[in-house]
A and B are shown apart, each in its own frame.
Chain A
Amino acid sequence: MSATQKPRAAPEAPPTAPRERAPTGTPLYVHLPFCAAKCHYCDFFSVPDKGQDRAANLNAIQREAELYAPRNPRTVFIGGGTPSLLSIAELTEFLDNLERITSFRSSAVEVTAECNPESLDRDKARALLDLGVTRLSIGFQSLHDEVLQLFGRVHSVEQSFAAFESARSAGVTDLNIDLIYAIPGQTPEAWEQDLGRVLALGAEHLSAYNLTFEEETVFHRWLSQGRLAKSPEEVELAHFEVTRRLTQAAGLEAYEISNFARTNRHCRHNVNYWHNGTYLGIGPSAVSKVGATRGGNLKAILPYNRRIEASGDARTWEETPSATERLFETWWLGLRLAEGISASEARERADFSASEDPALAITAGLVADGLIEETDARFRLTARGLPLADYVARRFLAAAP
């Protein structure tokens, strides 16, 4: 029924089979789990920095990189967590080591680091550039201090703008800003104003996310306690439409459901995920896809460190979807992109070789329902289908064996 996911081993136990280094060129993701504080909506694996032994964890991640990180990765994404929280000295040591292991500085066409306003100044931005980073992503999230407080964030709106200016003046030419919308109480009009101010900054890339209440977050608890209310669907949709209208007017392409970019400035590392490509993730909680197999690391710092030290493998799960599952997954991931996907592309990306293509019947139904459309053999979500991307995904999954 679903992919065979087996727990690879009990959290503290050694792995079942030795793993190999990812093939040369494989995109690399690095998860640095520390943040100044835990945001109330955040369900990434991240932990407040207080009292943590950062060095021990960085060492373990480096060790994991030594074992598996690909040589000459095409792209690198340093996420978390808040990588900018590390000192310049820590960043230097870590990225120099990564360079020694992978030679990413010459191979990668794009090296992104996630930053938060409270820990990004001109010097750090400069240092990151010098260390081989080409692109910074800054978490603004909101243009209202009281909302930032509600979010549990530790910076002000003013700091966000200042961080952006610092990055620019340090010479960063590829900048992304993260924003969240459909916040309880927010109106589409207010969002339009905020978004206009952000777009005026002229960042090359924007990620704008509808607020979600993920399980095991403070916001989820507040929602179930009635302390917060989710915005009504019409309001969410209005925000969604405002976002598309304004970004288009500002010359950004809506290349994915929540991502907007100037020509050629889309995030190549992330586009690879939507192409259902392979990637190697290192660090606690990081997920990898090598061949047809996905697997994820432990979501806990000390056990991760211990497992890496003991056996070099911190995975807690692995799964290998079947060919049909891979094919359908490729479809719904690919449809998130404005470029769309063709049936032959999907088969190729999914390494699907059976003579009959089970996706065709599904796409025909989706076309009939006006959710996707076909031009020159490529399928794309329609204006109606865009905000229904998950429904579309379910139509594929419902047909999976």
Chain B
Amino acid sequence: MDTKHIRNFCIIAHIDHGKSTLADRMLEVTGSVDKRDMRAQLLDSMDLERERGITIKASAVTVYHVYKGTKYELNLIDTPGHVDFNYEVQKALQACEGALLLVDASQGVEAQTVANAYLAVEADLTVLPVINKVDLPHAQPEVVCEEIENSIGIDSSDASRVSAKSGLGVPELLDRIVEKIPAPTGLPDAPLRCLIFDAVYNEYRGIIVYMRVVDGTIKEREQIHMLGTDKVYEAVELGRFTPEMKRAGVLGPGDVGYFISNIKQLGDVRIGDTMTLYKGPKVKMLPGYRPPMHMVYADFFPTNSGDFESLREGLATLSLSDSSFSFEAVTSEALGFGFRCGFLGLLHMEIVQERLEREHDLDMIQTAPTVTYKIKLKDGTLSEIHSPGQLPNPDQYEEILEPYARVSIMVPAEFIGNVMQIAADHRGTYVRQEHLSPTRVQLLYDIPLAELIYDFFDKLKSSTRGYGTLNYDISEFKPSELVKLRILVNGNEIDALTSIVHKEQAEFRGRSAIKKMRKEIARHLFEIAIQAAVGARIIARETISALRKDVTAKCYGGDITRKRKLLEKQKAGKRRMRQIGNVDIPQKAFLAVLGGDDED
């Protein structure tokens, strides 16, 4: 198809504003999916996405729309809304000329609305504001348009108004996409350049590469050079997502599709790489993607230490379809061999962990997430650590610097006081505030990233009745008075439970951590002492008394089955557990140094 008749765009928004539902309607209106095959959020194909009702991975699909008698190819990419999957949005943006900025007419502009809109503007995309959910009784399209103009500065006077649920306004929106979003500019006979924006591993077909043709034309049976990894593969099959994979044989400029070459070597495909014709004219590499910035780190250890190699394999396979986490081998005194992984955020960490457990049938212990610290050593050099255990003794360094985040919080004005309180509790400093509309404000704070992951987000949600949303970016590293908080179980230090905390909070957080551990660790035949220490000083202690009585008084004929089931249920929790010394420590106890439900 002539590039004139191609439009590439993505749908971006805050979480839950209806991106995937709008994609559903577009598939339906254009007749791409049979009515009987239709289901809600069709593009969310991962089990985890369907269970949680959120999009985790961006997915591309090609639909055809007839405008003024001409057939257009629309390549749309549905993106996730959650802040942790921002990297997916950035990748999608590079494959498009335009973006639909979807805003829920009842919720208004939220933190990721702004963040994603800026990303699209930065990437030079044409941004079309779309007000969604106009069917809701609380819809306030005018107010929302005002908020868009005030927060992002995009003219919204003629923003599309749709209901992704009912389909109202969707055909008109398709027309508008054709009218307003520029066609791709690549030429069909220019030297070939394709951008790899995603990949998945398929047991039978090898790696399936998701790519966009930027310049030139790619045909099956051609020898293709991956410039970054310097590998050559034949184009065995080329096609589009409609949403099933549909063989096309040839893809031209502006096309978004897949490339199959029975690639089994995971390292040969790199997201962001450029593909060109082998032995064709020399081309310049596409800018690709900037490497993801890892906000939090956590260690994964196999529950069964023999599973270390399977864990490595699982991580390698998963990193192909999610290029945004990192992993490197580590050892822990307490837990043996494992991997330190870097993530974009807490949800990202949770998703990676769950995908490993499900897709690779691995059983793991995960340590509490931590941030990167910079240590200024006595000789003036700076070193980075990704794990509290790596922090040297105080006499070996000058100071510790911790990452601060510039946090933008959007809330209804009535909650300003609550937000100020929790920001203060989390060592936040106020920057400024802006009114988006008479009832909604944006508050800016500088908050240590460690405080954000400790429990800031949970606290924000609970103190704003769920209305508060936030977005953050790392702003700078600043020196702080930080100390190492160590946890000992029966005198054995558990390195996997060490954390770095602010001096003033050490005692409180130490207490809260060992209290939580006390709740998680079952009683044993002997007494268990759990201690929190800063340096050599024990600052708190909890004792789990020895189990001395555990017996049912009555056990007759009618009781045996019920009794056995009860006992079985009590042992069912045994799965994710590691023995340290002779104490069985369940997964949850390893997360005790994280905040959450501590006050009671």
Contacts and interface: CB of A to CB of B under 8 A. Distances in A.
A329 B560 contact: yes
Interface stretch (A115-123, A143-151, A381-389): A381-389
Interface in A202-227: 209-212
Contacts of A286: 558
Contact of B557 (A240, A289, A319): A289
A294 B549 contact: no
Contacts of B565: 2
A4 to B, nearest CB: 12
Interface stretch (A8-16, A130-138, A391-399): A391-399
Contacts of B571: 394, 397-398
B567 interface: yes
B386 to A, nearest CB: 36
Nearest to B549: A387
A394 B525 contact: no
Contact of A237 (B548, B556, B560, B567): B548
B561 interface: yes
A336 B560 CA distance: 12
B555 A336 contact: yes
Contacts of B393: none
A113 interface: no
Contacts of B554: 209, 212, 258
A369 B525 contact: yes
Interface string B518-550: 000000010000000000000000000001111
A209 B559 CA distance: 15
Interface residues of A, number: 44
A233 B549 contact: yes
B553 A5 contact: no
B557 A388 contact: no
Given A369-B525, A394-B571, A398-B574, A236 B549 contact: yes
Nearest to B574: A398
Contacts of A209: 553-554
Contacts of A398: 571, 574
B560 A273 contact: yes
Given A287-B561, A329-B564, A386 B551 contact: yes
B570 interface: yes
B550 A273 contact: no
Contacts of B552: 212, 389-390
A270 B559 CA distance: 12
A269 to B, nearest CB: 9
A279 interface: yes
B561 A319 contact: yes
B395 interface: no
B568 interface: yes
A257 interface: yes
A394 B561 contact: no
A229 to B, nearest CB: 16
A329 B557 CA distance: 12
Interface centre among B525, B551, B557 (most CB of A within 10 A): B557
A29 B557 contact: yes
Contacts of B551: 210, 257, 386-390
Contacts of B567: 390, 393-394, 397
A57 interface: no
A211 B525 CA distance: 23
Interface centre among A237, A240, A273, A371 (most CB of B within 10 A): A273
Contacts of B574: 398
B554 to A, nearest CB: 6
Contact of A287 (B549, B557, B568): B557
B581 to A, nearest CB: 15
Contacts of A397: 564, 567-568, 571
A285 interface: yes
B455 to A, nearest CB: 28
B553 A258 contact: yes
A391 B557 contact: no
Given A257-B551, A369-B525, A397-B567, A281 B561 contact: no
Interface in A186-215: 209-212
A230 to B, nearest CB: 12
Interface centre among B525, B548, B553, B560 (most CB of A within 10 A): B553
B558 A387 contact: no
A277 to B, nearest CB: 9
A328 to B, nearest CB: 9
Contact of A387 (B550, B555, B570): B550
A128 interface: no
B563 to A, nearest CB: 8
A281 B561 CA distance: 14
B549 A237 contact: yes
Interface centre among B550, B552, B555, B571 (most CB of A within 10 A): B555
Nearest to A399: B571
Contacts of A329: 560, 564
A273 B560 CA distance: 9
B564 A394 contact: no
Given A212-B554, A257-B551, A329-B560, 9 more contacts: A273-B555, A273-B557, A273-B560, A279-B557, A287-B558, A296-B558, A371-B525, A387-B549, A389-B550
Closest 4 CB pairs of A and B: A209-B553, A389-B551, A287-B558, A387-B549
25 contacts: A5-B561, A209-B554, A210-B553, A211-B553, A212-B552, A257-B555, A258-B554, A273-B556, A273-B560, A285-B558, A287-B557, A287-B558, A287-B560, A294-B560, A296-B558, A336-B555, A388-B548, A388-B549, A388-B550, A388-B551, A390-B550, A390-B567, A391-B547, A393-B564, A394-B571
